[in-house]
């Protein structure tokens, strides 16, 4: 066979949910698409998870199970390469990761800052409340309601809008 030319990166599905497993089969191939008989260790990364995995190929093939956590619509990919041949890098087809069930809320400024800065008395401020899953993904289909209370507010009018696309 010819030398390593690419990795064939096959996904078990093109749509999954954050927190669920995604099986990925990796095959080392030459320029003629023949499977190479190699036991190399490959580096597996993805923009759908935070960990890097280093599975070993057995006779040129391995299947690895990844737990995806970062939601995205047809913009998630799995990338495979090795330190021995970093110039050979291959990616899977794009896939979708939907958010998991709504578990909590994220309160942010309109600018997306996670901490609301000190406010001036008598000056209105706007905050964004997002329905999120356990991984911090916005839950677009959330129909949960939200109420705001404070022991320090008096005579203050609070306008709460219904969730639209999770915010």
pLDDT at 163 over 70: no
pLDDT of 130 reads 84
Calpha distance 154→158 (Å, rounded): 11
Q: Which range (25-29, 96-100, 116-120, 138-142) has the least confidence?
A: 116-120
Rg (CA), the chain: 23
Calpha distance 144→149 (Å, rounded): 17
Q: Which two tokens stand for residue 89?
A: 């890098």
Q: Which residue has the higher pLDDT, 50 or 62?
A: 62
Residues 6+ positions from 151 with CB-CB distance below 8 Å: none
Q: Tokens 């050979």 map to which residue?
A: 88
Percent of the chain with pLDDT over 70: 85
Interval 57-91: pLDDT, tens:
999 999 999 999 999 988 999 999 998 888 999 99
Interval 91-102: pLDDT, tens:
999 999 999 998
pLDDT at 15 over 80: yes
Picking from 41, 56, 48, 54, the residue whose alpha carbon sits closest to that of residue 92 is: 48
Interval 125-155: pLDDT, tens:
777 888 899 999 999 877 776 766 665 655 5
């Amino acid at each position: 066979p010819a030398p390593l030319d690419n990795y064939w990166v096959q996904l078990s599905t093109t749509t999954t949910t954050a927190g669920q497993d995604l099986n990925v089969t990796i095959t080392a191939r030459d320029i003629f698409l023949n499977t190479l008989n190699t036991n190399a260790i490959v580096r597996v990364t993805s923009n759908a998870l935070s960990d890097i995995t280093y599975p070993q190929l057995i006779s040129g093939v391995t299947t690895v199970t990844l737990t995806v956590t970062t939601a995205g619509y047809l913009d998630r990919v799995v990338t495979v390469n090795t330190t021995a041949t970093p110039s050979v890098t291959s990616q899977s087809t794009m896939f979708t990761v939907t958010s998991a069930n709504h578990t909590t809320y994220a309160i942010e400024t309109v600018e997306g800052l996670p901490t609301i800065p000190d406010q001036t008395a008598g000056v209105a401020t706007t905050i964004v409340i997002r329905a999120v899953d356990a991984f911090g993904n916005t839950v677009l289909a959330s129909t949960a309601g939200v109420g705001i209370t404070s022991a320090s507010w008096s005579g203050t009018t609070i306008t709460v809008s219904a969730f639209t696309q999770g915010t």
